Amino acid sequence: MQVTENRHLVAVTLAMAATLWVLLLVAAPWVAGQAGELGGVLYAIGALVCHQRPERSFHLGTVQLPVCARCLGGYAGVAAGLAAWAVASRWRRAPWTRVAAIRTLAASGLPTGLTVASAWLGVGDPSNAWRAALAVPLGVVGGAVLGAVSTDHLK
């Protein structure tokens, strides 16, 4: 029973860390104004994983967030997926197969893939709100897969 509790604690900790990351991303403009060094670190980390194009990013007031709308939606989805897994894993007994996880992950990536493809092909370029919203499913499933790995439910 102790091993199960420890794995559940890992899932909860990951969910809390992912939620904190999303909150820090949203608060980064304010943080940069209050504690410039920490704000600078948040923007530097954002630059490692995101193009940070202003026209594809949300702004708090006049200050751009450290990641684009699509990345923010994905991170929010990861936090939600990890939180959902942390709750569900308390009752889940059957393992999630790798094949099922990969299929679910691929299907959840379709909305994001379609928005990227449509922009590249010049067919349409969705708004930032749509980019963020359509990245959430991929993030949710990615978070659930991470949760499944952390609780040893992925076989």
Count Cβ neighbours within 10 Å for each residue of 60-69 and write b for 16 or more, e otherwise. Answer: eeeebbbbbb
CA distance 81 to 28: 23
pLDDT one-digit tens code per residue, 64-116: 999 999 999 999 999 999 999 999 877 767 788 999 999 999 999 999 999 99
- pLDDT confidence of residue 3: 56
pTM: predicted TM-score of the whole model, two decimal places: 0.92
- pLDDT confidence of residue 37: 84
Q: Is residue 82 a contact partner of residue 144, using CB atoms and an 8 Å limit?
A: yes
Which band of pLDDT confidence, cut at 50, 70 and 90, is reported for residue 22?
very high
pLDDT at 46 over 60: yes
DSSP 96: B
Task: Measure Cα distances from 13 to 79, 85, 118, 121, 124 in Å.
Answer: 11, 12, 37, 41, 39
Cα three-residue angle 126-128-133, rounded to 5 degrees: 85
Structure-block tokens of residue 145 = 């897969």
**CB-CB neighbours of 17 under 10 Å:** 11
| Positions of E strands within the chain | 59-60, 63-64
Structure-block tokens of residue 150 = 């952390």
CA distance 85 to 80: 8
